[in-house]
């Protein structure tokens, strides 16, 4: 009986996660389609950060999430396709360089802390004799 109850909890959580993610993505697509790319990037794309907290809560509350994840994978694929579309728009509107895997990044690059909005320099986190795991969320500046 415990196994069945656990599966029901996981399935309910997965359905809620996917539904909330789809709502966030739908709202982002609508905002993107009705305004300028620059306005979307500057003011509206940050609403997509809500998905980070939703995923964190889901994964912390579920012990076994190996089954029934096709909807979540589809959401991930749709999410990435949308951001690829935004990327393509930016390439037309913007002359920013992109970072490739293995590139070294100079310490003077300004980054935005996603949770607080605080601006920091990459160099503030490097050269301290520790390993740094840096997650760069595409064009969320």
- pLDDT tens sequence across 17-52: 899 999 999 999 998 899 888 888 888 888 888 888
Mean pLDDT of 106-132: 79
Alpha-carbon distance of 129 to 1, in angstroms, equals 51
3-state secondary structure of 121: strand
pLDDT confidence tier of residue 96, bands split at 50, 70 and 90 = low
CA distances to 9, 61, 85, 102, 125 from 72, rounded to whole Å, are 16, 16, 20, 29, 33
Looking at the predicted structure, is the pLDDT value of residue 139 above 60? no
The mean pLDDT of 57-67, rounded to a whole number, is 65
pLDDT score recorded for residue 98: 64
Beta strands in the chain (DSSP E): 110-112, 119-121
Q: Say whether 135 sits in a helix, a strand or coil.
A: coil
> What integer is the mean pLDDT of 109-132?
79
**Better pLDDT: 26 or 6:** 26
H-state helical runs in 35-119: 37-39, 50-61, 70-93
Of the two residues 140 and 137, the one the predictor is more confident about is 137
- Judge contact between 79 and 24, C-beta under 8 A: no
pLDDT of residue 23: 94
**According to the model, what pLDDT value does residue 136 have?**
65
Phi, psi of 40 (to 5 degrees): -60, -50
| pLDDT value of residue 64 | 57
């Amino acid at each position: 009986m415990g196994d069945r109850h656990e599966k029901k909890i996981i399935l309910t959580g997965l359905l809620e996660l996917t539904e909330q993610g789809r709502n966030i993505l739908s709202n982002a697509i609508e905002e993107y389609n009705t305004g300028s790319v620059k306005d979307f990037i500057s003011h509206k794309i940050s609403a997509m950060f809500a998905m980070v907290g939703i995923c964190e809560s889901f994964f912390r509350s579920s012990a076994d999430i190996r089954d029934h994840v096709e909807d979540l994978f589809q959401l991930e694929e749709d999410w990435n396709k949308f951001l690829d579309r935004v990327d393509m728009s930016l390439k037309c509107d913007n002359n920013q360089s992109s970072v490739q895997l293995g590139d070294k990044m100079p310490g003077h690059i300004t980054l935005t802390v996603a949770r607080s909005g605080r601006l920091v320099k990459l160099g503030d986190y490097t050269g301290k004799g520790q390993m740094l795991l840096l997650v760069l969320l595409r064009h969320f500046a």
